[in-house]
Structure 1
């Protein structure tokens, strides 16, 4: 038997409970992973509370879209992995059924990548979603180039911090946007070239000051909502704005009368494509090896305290760093 975290109704962290389930044998092309740790992501909270974009069937729904562990069993015809290999889970589109909040999960081998050497288990559990989202949006979707001025909103979030590092790693110039000037020193230490704090300055004016008057070449909008209009004014003519988050629940006005290209991005655009996942894995491995890519961790909880981990994220006590649960 194997333990898993499930919920039978929508609600607060208290609806999460641990049950025992039979261990699933891998089918052809599949791998059973013994989970060592998983990270708590905003989508997990949305699924648990009933506010996720996709419907979650109840009862007995699981959670978890990222994690790390060790290959425990291989299905017939599975190649490229061996029993005992440490891996990172690269995609769980059906997290309600195979989520990583468990001692085991069984997935197609194509949804796993080798775990980069040099990462601790908690770091490996927390690195994929943030960095694959940042890389996928900036590099695969927008074609970020060395020297580009990249404006990153919600810069203290997990994806925001990853985007700063991805931009730096490729020679771009990351400009961080945050709501409070109290985050300035922290974001500069994280690698931002400059920090724009909306509690003290106008975004468009500040960005023009940091870019010699031209504006940002590329904007990663992890917030959306009415504030996107200010980001468009901060973007140079012919620049690109990627809308990749939903932190502001208010409607986002349609961009009108602008020569900025506005495109949307969702992580599963690329994390279900084995070719792109291979590029992401190579990029991640190189960045970890060189010391330029590293997730920022908050607290680490034990498996029996997963509800407390959710409460910490829900209250915003993690400060945008990743909360991890060890199994």
Structure 2
């Protein structure tokens, strides 16, 4: 018997339960790990509330990121052995391969032997944030030296990863956050500029910073009314990549800006990189190189113990965090 986190109904953090279950051996092409740390993501809160892109049968497990020690190997798996220290690229389905537990099983192709210089906490905070930012900025938008890139929800783990990746390739990052409370921290963590969207005129500030050509790449997790000022400040043939939807308000289609500037508005899910082995291999090479050079360094907001998973989810929903929330076992 092992302890796992499950929920039997949709709702807030208090629906989460730690339960003892019999845990099966890994199937063909799978590897079972003994989990040492878990990275928390907003996707888990969405699954828990029934608002995610997949709807689970109940009861359901959850979780996308983990780091730990290989415990058992399924048939047809090469390259891993019991005792290997690994971290996990998020699976396409957390319902099929949930991470929240003392033990978890994942497809072998999604395991990475993480650098020995990383502790468990940092290793569990890697792949969702850096793959999401890399896939959008490098793989899709081809971000390059000299570009201006606008990054909304900049104090999130993905936002901070995007700032680091922008710096790594020589782009100029413009961090967009709601209030000025996190301005100093964002500048300390590499943002070239910070705009507090509720305290400043976002369009005016973006145009001032990115003059004369404008912002070529926008990496947005918010949607809603912010689309108008964002697109107004973009360059000719710029690209806005939407990977979230945090705003509860409708998102207008900025027709005049899209037509006059020939803009691309593109929806993005990290799954498109994870499903494509060639793109995933390129992403892993880029990220591991950035970790080795020190250009990429996971920012940890707070750690919680496994027994405090409910408290960790309350903190996840508080929007107070700066960086990644990690649960340790």
The answer to whether the superposition gives a TM-score over 0.5 is yes
1:272 paired residue number: 275
1:18 paired residue number: 18
Root-mean-square deviation (CA), in Å?
A: 1.4
Do the aligned residues in 1 keep the contact of 2:222 with 2:246 (CA within 8 Å)?
yes
Q: 1:105-254 counterparts in 2 under 5 A? A: 105-254=104-253
Do the aligned residues in 2 keep the contact of 1:11 with 1:49 (CA within 8 Å)?
yes
Q: CA deviation at 1:31?
A: 0.8
TM-score (structure 2 length as normaliser) = 0.95
Do the aligned residues in 1 keep the contact of 2:227 with 2:253 (CA within 8 Å)?
no
2:326 paired residue number: 324
TM-score (structure 1 length as normaliser) = 0.95
Q: CA deviation at 1:159?
A: 0.9
2:41 paired residue number: 41
- Rounded to whole Å, the distance in 1 between the matches of 2:283 and 2:206 is 29
1:301 paired residue number: 304
1:54 paired residue number: 54
Q: Secondary structure at the match of 1:96?
A: coil
Q: Secondary structure at the match of 1:229?
A: helix
1:312 paired residue number: 315
Give structure 1 stretches of 5+ with no counterpart: none
Give structure 2 stretches of 5+ with no counterpart: none
Q: Secondary structure at the match of 1:137?
A: helix
Q: Secondary structure at the match of 1:37?
A: strand
2:285 paired residue number: 282
Q: Secondary structure at the match of 1:92?
A: coil
Q: CA deviation at 1:130?
A: 1.0
The answer to whether the aligner puts 1:101 opposite 2:100 as a matched pair is yes
Of residues 253, 276, 295, the one that matches 1:292 is 295
CA deviations on 1:83-111 (whole Å, 9 max, x unpaired) are 21111111222212421101111221112
Count of residues paired in the alignment:
325
Q: Secondary structure at the match of 1:18?
A: strand
- Rounded to whole Å, the distance in 2 between the matches of 1:53 and 1:29 is 25
Q: CA deviation at 1:303?
A: 1.0
